[in-house]
Amino acid sequence: MNTSEMTAKIAAGKGFIAALDQSGGSTPKALKGYGIEEGAWASEEEMFGLIHRMRSRIITAPVFTGEKVLGAILFERTMDGTVDDKGAGGKPVPRALIDKGIIPFIKIDKGLEDEANGVQLMKPIPGLDTLLERSRALGVFGTKERSVINSANREGIAAVVDQQFEVGRQVLRHGMMPIIEPEVNIKSETRADCDRILLAEILRNLDALPAGETVMLKLSLPVEPGLFDPLVDHPKVLRVVALSGGYKRPEACVELSKNRGIIASFSRALLEDLRAQMSDAEFDASLGGAIDEIYRGSTQKTGAAAGA
């Protein structure tokens, strides 16, 4: 797939984007969910080796294909790694994905600042231009960068969205597609107000983008189904994807199905039933079931969402 083919598939393809980008402090939690307890590794390198083997098992699984999985978001170490494709030796991860019809993205943020004004901005991203150049050379299509909104503070939310679009413009200059992710904490007591302020701030920044430039958005599912329809329909938005945000997969898929035009980009909700101790047959069956359920939530809409 070339860039124009990837763009067309993301824009109109049926399916969802898998988030395989746990990093740093979130890796032990991801490994524990996979059935590997903390203490099973003696160093950070061993820890990342274990998570890479988990991701490799997913990427090479016969059920993990471009038929239902449009794209996959990678951690930088995963992007730089290889997978053993049916005994063919090490193949670079982005190439292995592309060969399966899956479009690679990379997580570029370096974590979150401490909370201020009800939000957590991204930490600085040193060496971003170099990372973008290297990622693009490996065939990576786009990026993902995450901030968090905890309360309905208009000043804080505006700062989050402005920072996200500033980074997004840097990504665009490298000919890559940014996934802008200002996550609303689903446990926030002011979540519905956060959603509305966020919508207004995103629209303001979209209107300021030069003609012909587009971005993707990764958002928490809104309290009010359909609230983000203006973003789904916006000419400067290639696709809106949703994070699971702590919902278990069944609930996340139900909420997703209420929102037309929005597809999943789930991490925990995709991986929650997978275990290192499973046989290959058990692993593939469990992963296939999760893929099917998330695919349905992304493509089969209910109520008003289905008729829109």
Tokens of 210: 């030069």
How many Å from the N-terminal Cα to the C-terminal Cα in the chain?
31
Whether the CA torsion 294, 15, 137, 182 is positive or negative: it is negative
The enclosing H or E element of 152 equals none
Q: How many CA atoms lie within 13 A of 26 on its CB side?
A: 11
Catalytic residues: 181, 218
**β partners of residue 237:** 215
Distance CA 155, CA 22 (A): 29
Distance CA(146)–CA(65), nearest Å, equals: 26
Cα 78 from chain centroid? 14
